Structure 1
Amino acid sequence: MTTQHKPVRTMAMPVLASMVVGSMVGAGVFSLPSSFADSAGGLAALLAWAVAGGGMLMLALVFQRLAVTRPELDSGIVAYARAGFGSYLGFFSAFGYWASACIANVTYWVLIASTLGTVIPVFGEGDTWAAFILGTLGLWAFHIIVARGVSQAAGLNALTTVAKMIPLVLFIVVVIFGGFSWDVFVENLRGDTTEIGSVAEQVRSTMLVTVFVFLGVEGASVYSRYARRREDIGRATVLGFVSVLALFVVVTMLSYGVMPREELAGLRQPSVAGVLESIVGTWGAWFIGIGLLISVLGAYLAWLMLAAEVLFEAAKQDDAPRFLTLVNRRGVPISALMATAVATQIFLIVTHFSESAFDFSLELTSALALVPYLLTAGFALKEALGPRRWSGVLAIASVALIYTVFLIFAAGLKYVLLSLLVYGPATVLYVWARRERGLRVFTRAEVTVCVVSVVGAIAAVIALSTGAISL
C-alpha cells in the first residue's frame, strides 16, 4: 500500500461520456412510469421535466465551464465547494455526495431483487431477507472488481452502457408503433387533481424523482484527474446529459399513452417492464428484466467508483482521515473503496427495515445530493462575480443556484432532517482529519454551520422517535 500514486490519464472523451451516461442510466429510468404516475398527470410530468431538465442543464453547463476555467481543481464537485466556501463545507459536499452514492447503490440492489422477485418469489419486491443477502453478496463482489483497477472498471462500464440501451430503445419503438393511444394520453394529461393535487403540487412532488435519475451528471468532472484533455470533461458532461434527458422524457411521456394513470401508478418496479408486458405479453417483462439487470449492474459499478473517488479526494485535501488516502498497487483508493462498501452495507440494513425500500432510498439519495449541487452552483456564481466577469456564466450559475434552492424546498422538511442526520455525525470525521494534521478545525462561520447541522441531526432523532417522521 502507498499514499502516493499519480493517475495515468487514460480516459478519452467517449469513456468520460460513458461515465456520465452509465451513472445516470441505471435503476431510475426503469422506474419512471410508475414513479411519475403515482403523483403526477401527463401535463405535470412534462412540466416537471422542463423544470428539472432546464435546471440540470444549467448545472451541467456549470460543470463544463468550471472544468475549463479552474483546471487545477480535480475531482470536480468536491473541490469546487472547498475552493468556494472553505474546508468544512468542502467536507460536507464530499461526504454528502459520497453518502448519496452509497445509498444510490442500495437502490440498485433493491431493484435487482425486485426484478428477480417476479420469477423467484422469495425476493419479493426487494424487501425480503433473501433480497438483503443478495445485495450483501453483490456489493462485496463488486468491491473486489473495482479493487483490481479503475481503468479496467471504467472500460467495463462503457460496455454495459451500450448494452443497457438496447432494451430501452426496443421499449420506445414498441410503444410508438404498437401500444401508444392518443386518447389514453390525452385522458392522462390532467390527472385527478382531487387525488394528487394541483398541477403545481404534482410538479413539486416529482422533483426528488428527477434529481435521482439525473444523479451522475457530474461523473466526468469527478474523474477529471484521469482525463486525457481538460476540455473533454465539459464535452462529455453536456453530451451525456442531453442524451439521457431525451431518453428520460420519451420513456416517461410514452407510458402515459399506454394505460390509465392509476394503472401506471400501481405497477410494481421496474414499471417499464409492466408497461411493455401490457403491449406484447410476458416476454416483454422478461426482456426488460434482463436489460435492467445489465443496466443496474453497470450503474452500480460506475457509482461505486465515483463514491470511492470522492472520499479519496476529500482525504487528499486534508478534510477526511489520512488513512483514506491509501491506494493499492493498481492505483485504486482501497481504503476509500472499503469505507464505501461498509457504508453501503449499513444503509442496506437500514433500508431493509423501511416501509418502502425503493422509494425511501431513492428520495434520501436525492436529498443528500442537494448540498453538493447547491455548493457547486454557488461557487460558479462566486466565480462569475469575481475579477473576470462573464455575463453568460453569471446567468447560468444564477439559474442553477435558484434551481437547487427550489429542490431543497421541494424535498420538504422530512428529507432535510434525515439529511442532517447523516451530515451532523459526519463532523466527527472532519474534526479527526484536521486534528491529526495539526490544522485549525473551524472558522467562526463554520462553527455556526456545525451547530446548525448537529441541532438538525438531534431534531431528526427526536422526530423519528416520536413518529413525527418515519422511514
Structure 2
Amino acid sequence: MNESAPMQNNSNIAAAAASQTMESNEHKHSGAAGKVGLLGLTAVVISAMVGGGVFELPQNMAMHASAGGQILAWIITGLGMWFIADTFRVLAAVRPEYSDGLYSYAYHGFGRFVGFLVSYGYWATNTVSLVAYGILITSTLDFFFPGVFTGGTTIPAILVQSLVLWATFFMGRLGIRSGARINVAGTIAKLIPLALFVVTMIVLFRMPQFVHGFWGWTPSGQPAPFDLSSVYAQSRQTMLVTLWVFNGVEGAVVVSANARSQRDVSRATTIGFISILVLYMLVSLLPLGVYAQPALAKLPSPSVAAILGQIYGAWGEWIVNAGVIVSVLFAMLVWLLMLSQMPLNAARDGLMPSFLAQTDSNGTPRISMLYTVLICQFLCIACHYIEGSAWNLMISIVSVLSIPCYLCCAMYLWRISRRDHIWPINARFTRKHGLVIGVLGTFYMLYAAIVAGLDYVMAACIVYAIGTPLFVFARHRANTQDAQGKLFTRAERIMLVLIVIAGIAGVIYVIMTRRV
C-alpha cells in the first residue's frame, strides 16, 4: 500500500529532475563540506526560538501565573512541544528523502491541498513573526531614544522596521550556508545577556520569596491556598506565550535539504529543544525568587532589561536592550531564510504560483523572499493603525497559525506508524515509538487549539481562507489536474468549502465582537 502522494504531470517531474540536477552540479565539488553541519543546524534551531520573546518572559508569565501555575505550564508545554520536536526527529530519520520538512510531510501524506495549506500557513505564520520582531526591535530602541519609538508603531518606528527588513533581505540573499555561519556568531552573542541574567538571578534567589504566593494571590493581596482549578487556569492563560517562544523548534527540519545528514537534523533538534526549555524555565521562574509575582507583572518591556536595570543600574539595562536588538536581528534572518523555503517547494510542485520557485546563483529563493518582505512591509504600516498592543496581537496570531502546521506533521507520523510495512527496517526509531509520539503530538496540538480560544481560531480561519485563491490560481496555471481532469479531489473540495465557510464566519465574528 502506498502513501497518498500527489500526482504530477510530466512537465512537473521534468522540472523537479532539472532542479535536482542543478543542485547536484552545484555541490558535487564541495560534497559534505557544502552542507550545514550539526553546529550550524543547532544554531538555526536556537536562533529561531530565542528571538525577542525570551526577554519578555518574566513579565509575560507573571502577568498570568504564579510560580506553581508557571511550573505546571512549562510541564504541559514542555511535554507537548517535545512530542512535536520528537515528531520532527522521527520523520527526519524515517523519511529522509522528504527534505523539504513540514511541507513534504503534509504534501505526501495528505495530498496537494493540505500540502498547500501547510506551506501557506507556515509562510503566513512566520511573516507575522517577522513583523512582531520588527515591533520589538523598535520598542527596545525607545530605551535609547525615549518617546521616539513608543509601542513600536510610530512613524519613526515603521521607518526603522522597514530598514531592518530590507537589510535582512539583502543578507538573506547570501544563502542558507552563509546564513547558518552568521547564526553561529549571532546565537553566541544573544546568549551573553541571558547568561548574565540567569547567573544574577541564581545569586540573588531566595527560596522563602519563591514559595511566598506559590499558588497565586487573593484579591486582597494575600497568598492564595492551593486550588487545582485555579492553578490549571493560570497555566492555560500562558498557552499563547509558551507556544510563541517555542516557535522555531522545527528549524533544522525546514532547512534539512541543506543539512550534512538527517542524523544531524535529529541531533540538532534535540540539543536545541532541551537547551531552550531549560533556559526558558530559568528565565521565567528564577525572578520569582527575587521579586513578588505582582511586581514582575507590572515591569516595563523588555522585563529582563528592567530587572537588571534595578539591580545593576543603567549599564545592566543597556546590555540587555542591546542583546534584545542583536537577538531579534539574527532571529529575523533565520526566519526569513526558513520561511522562504515553503513557497519555493510548493511552487515547484505546482501548488503555488510558479514565479515563487525562482532562485539566484546562491540557491536562495529570491522571489519568495522578496514577496515575503513586501508583505511584511505592508503589515508594518498596518500596525500603525492598531489599537492596543501590536506586539501581543502579533505573537498571539503567530501561535494560533502555527498549530495546523504542527498538527499535520504529527498526524502524518501517526498515519505512517500504523502501516509497519512502509516503516524502514533499519530505522533508528521503532514504529511503536513513532505511533506514540504521533498520537500524543496530535492531541497536544488539538488541546492547544482549544486553549487558544475562539477569537484567535476564527482569525486563523480568515487567514487560511484568504490564501486559498493562490492554490486555485497555481493549479490552473500549472494544469495539474487529476486523472479525471479535476483540479480538486472530492475530499479537497469539501475541505475548501469548510475553510471558506470558517473564514466567512471568522469575519462575521470579528465584526460583531470587535475582537482580535
Fold match (TM-score > 0.5): yes
Among 91, 96, 100, the alignment partner of 1:71 is 96
Q: 1:380 aligns with which of 413, 426, 442?
A: 413
**Match of 1:63, SS?**
helix
Please state if 1:61 is matched with 2:86: yes
From 366, 373, 390, the counterpart of 2:399:
366
1:404 to 445, 470, 473: 445
Structure 1 letter corresponding to 2:158? F
**Preserved contact between residue 188 and residue 256 of structure 1 (Cα < 8 Å):** no
Q: Does 1:349 align with 2:377?
A: no
For 1:91-130, what per-residue CA distance to the aligned partner results, in whole angstroms no more than 9, with x for missing partners? 1111111111111111111111111112312111212222
Per the alignment, residue 97 of structure 1 pairs with 122
Give me the whole-angstrom Cα distance separating, in 1, the residues matched to 2:79 and 2:510.
Answer: 35
**1:139 is matched with which residue?**
165
CA distance in 2, matches of 1:353, 1:181: 44
Q: How many Å apart are 1:193 and its aligned residue?
A: 5.9
Deviation at 1:415, TM superposition (A): 0.6
Q: Quick one: which amino acid aligns to residue 92 of structure 1? A: L
RMSD (CA atoms):
1.8
Letter in 1 for 2:125: S
Q: Which shifted more, 42-51 or 457-466? A: 457-466
Deviation of 1:81 after TM superposition, in Å, equals 1.1
Tell me what 2:435 maps to. 394
Measure, in 1, the Cα distance between the counterparts of 2:301 and 2:121: 27
Q: Give the partner amino acid of 1:412.
A: G
Aligned to 1:457: 503
**1:297 is matched by which residue type in structure 2?**
L
Residue 176 of structure 1 pairs with residue 199 of structure 2: no
* Further displaced range: 34-43 or 267-276: 267-276
- d(CA) in 2 for partners of 1:456, 1:385: 31
Q: Secondary structure at the match of 2:152?
A: coil
Alignment of 1:102-121 (within 5 A): 102-120=127-145, 121=147
Report whether the alignment pairs 1:438 with 2:471: no
Q: Which of structures 1 and 2 has the bigger CA Rg?
A: 2
2:466 equivalent to 1:425: yes
- Figure out how many residues of one structure are paired with residues of the other and give that number: 468
* Structure 2 counterparts to residues 257-406 of structure 1, below 5 A: 257-354=289-386, 355-388=388-421, 390-406=431-447
Displacement of 1:463 after TM fit? 2.5
Name structure 1 gaps, 5 residues minimum.
none
Shift of 1:135: 0.7
Structure 1 contact 75–221 (Cα < 8 Å) conserved: yes
Question: In structure 2, do the counterparts of structure 1 residues 188 and 305 end up closer, same or farther at CA, with 3 Å as the change threshold?
Answer: farther
What SS does structure 1 have at the residue aligned with 2:296? helix
Alpha-carbon distance in 2 for matches of 1:262, 1:72: 51
Residue matched to 2:184: 158
Q: List alignment gaps of at least 5 residues for structure 2.
A: 1-15, 28-33, 424-430, 482-486
Structure 1 consecutive aligned stretches of length 4 or more whose deviation exceeds 6 Å: none
Sort the Cα spacing of 1:314 and 1:194 in 2 relative to 1 into closer, same or farther, 3 A: farther
Select which of 440, 449, 455 maps to 1:414: 455
Q: Is the Cα–Cα contact under 8 Å of residues 72 and 232 in structure 2 kept in the other structure?
A: no
Deviates more, 1:443-452 or 1:403-412: 443-452
Contact kept? 1:102, 1:347, Cα under 8 Å: no
Report the TM-score when normalising by structure 1: 0.96
Q: Which residue does 1:470 correspond to in 2?
A: 515
Residues 236-282 of structure 1, C-alpha deviation per residue, up to 9 Å, x if partnerless? 11111111111001111012222221221111221111122222222
CA contact (8 A) 1:219 1:306 kept: yes
Q: How far apart are the structure 2 equivalents of 1:101 and 1:38?
A: 25
Rounded to whole Å, the distance in 2 between the matches of 1:352 and 1:62 is 39
Looking at structure 2, the residues matched to 110 and 191 of structure 1 have their Cα atoms a distance apart, in angstroms, of: 31
Whether the 8 Å CA contact 1:320–1:429 is kept in 2: the answer is yes
CA contact (8 A) 2:151 2:389 kept: no
SS in 2 for 1:198: helix
Q: Is the 8 A contact 1:60 1:238 kept in 2?
A: yes
The counterpart of 1:26, out of the listed 51, 56, 72, is 51
CA distance 1:95–1:146, change in 2 (3 Å): same
Separation in 2, partners of 1:220, 1:153? 13
The answer to which structure, 1 or 2, has the higher relative contact order (CA under 8 A, 6+ apart) is: 1
Does 2:274 match 1:248?
Answer: no
Tell me the equivalent position of 2:10: none
Cα deviation per residue 1:313-355 (whole Å; 9 max; x = unaligned)? 1112221111100011221111110111012122223333222
Q: CA deviation at 1:194?
A: 5.6
Task: Provide the C-alpha distance between the structure 2 equivalents of 1:243 and 1:391, rounded to a whole number of angstroms.
Answer: 27
Q: Which residue type is aligned with residue 507 of structure 2?
A: V
Distance 1:267 1:123 in 2: 18
Q: Distance in 2 between matches of 1:188 and 1:141?
A: 46
Q: Which residue of the other structure, out of 68, 71, 77, is the alignment partner of 1:52?
A: 77
Could you state the TM-score of these two structures normalised by the residue count of structure 2? 0.88
Bigger shift: residues 149-158 or 138-147 = 149-158
Deviation at residue 138 of structure 1 after TM alignment? 0.9
The one-letter amino acid paired with 1:470 is R
2:155 to 110, 129, 136: 129
Match of 1:80 among 105, 115, 118: 105
Paired residue secondary structure (2:90): helix
When residues 193 and 318 of structure 1 are mapped into structure 2, their CA distance, relative to the original with a 3 A threshold, is: farther
Deviation at 1:387, TM superposition (A): 2.7
